[in-house]
Chain A
Amino acid sequence: GAVVSQHPSWVICKSGTSVKIECRSLDFQATTMFWYRQFPKQSLMLMATSNEGSKATYEQGVEKDKFLINHASLTLSTLTVTSAHPEDSSFYICSPGGAGANVLTFGAGSRLTVL
């Protein structure tokens, strides 16, 4: 699977601020990037799928205006949590995909805590 670099690994912010999470696919041309969210003691849930150069597709119940995804290149995708609130506190994980991605691996995850 792809080697993935995700930053930051953890972030604490005040309510109302925005946080940007970066995901880099180091050895694979990721035409697709999957973004997941995992609340404590729960499973991973797919939030959105982004395709390089086009708009992301969001899963039902995920606000596209709150979770801004940019996938401008084959190696970098970003997730921005805008106007974060305590209920957005979660573990956010990226996973590069697309044609040729036979195995799906994950970034190390970003643990967001909103005070």
Chain B
Amino acid sequence: GENVEQHPSTLSVQEGDSAVIKCTYSDSASNYFPWYKQELGKRPQLIIDIRSNVGEKKDQRIAVTLNKTAKHFSLHITETQPEDSAVYFCAASRGGGADGLTFGKGTHLIIQP
């Protein structure tokens, strides 16, 4: 089955700086790669996703890049703000809504004021 590795487990950055979280996956059939933000005690919230026919996607301060050959994808957050502090999870699936997600272990992002 799919295996998703995520690094780092904790990331502390100064407010206004950029944060990068990296994930690798093992199943070459995976073609859907979402990123979720989870605040303490709450459900994961989708913040951005990318499909395998696209190399990069951007939504305001958040961007995701995908390298299918190397089987890795990354989340980039620019101009970080205190409200970006949370746990971020990457995930992978074969897409199509019929397959569940395999999650990375999560990154605790801490924005230092």
Contact = CB atoms under 8 A, between A and B. Distances in A.
Contacts of B97: 32, 97-102, 104
A107 B105 CA distance: 20
B96 to A, nearest CB: 7
A109 B46 contact: no
A44 B101 CA distance: 9
A99 B44 contact: no
B100 A97 contact: yes
Interface string B30-71: 000010000001111010010000000000000000000000
B49 A106 contact: no
Interface of B is mostly: loop
B22 to A, nearest CB: 16
Given A93-B43, A106-B44, A43 B106 contact: yes
Interface residues of B, number: 20
A72 interface: no
A42 interface: yes
Interface string A7-47: 00000000000000000000000001010100000111110
A33 B34 CA distance: 18
Contacts of A108: 42-43
Given A95-B100, A97-B97, A102-B97, 13 more contacts: A1-B46, A32-B97, A34-B101, A43-B105, A44-B89, A44-B103, A98-B98, A99-B98, A100-B97, A103-B46, A104-B97, A109-B42, A111-B41
24 contacts: A32-B97, A34-B100, A36-B100, A42-B105, A42-B106, A43-B104, A43-B106, A44-B44, A44-B89, A97-B97, A97-B98, A97-B99, A97-B100, A98-B98, A99-B98, A100-B97, A103-B34, A103-B46, A104-B34, A104-B93, A106-B43, A106-B44, A107-B43, A108-B43
Interface of B: 34, 41-44, 46, 49, 89, 93, 96-106
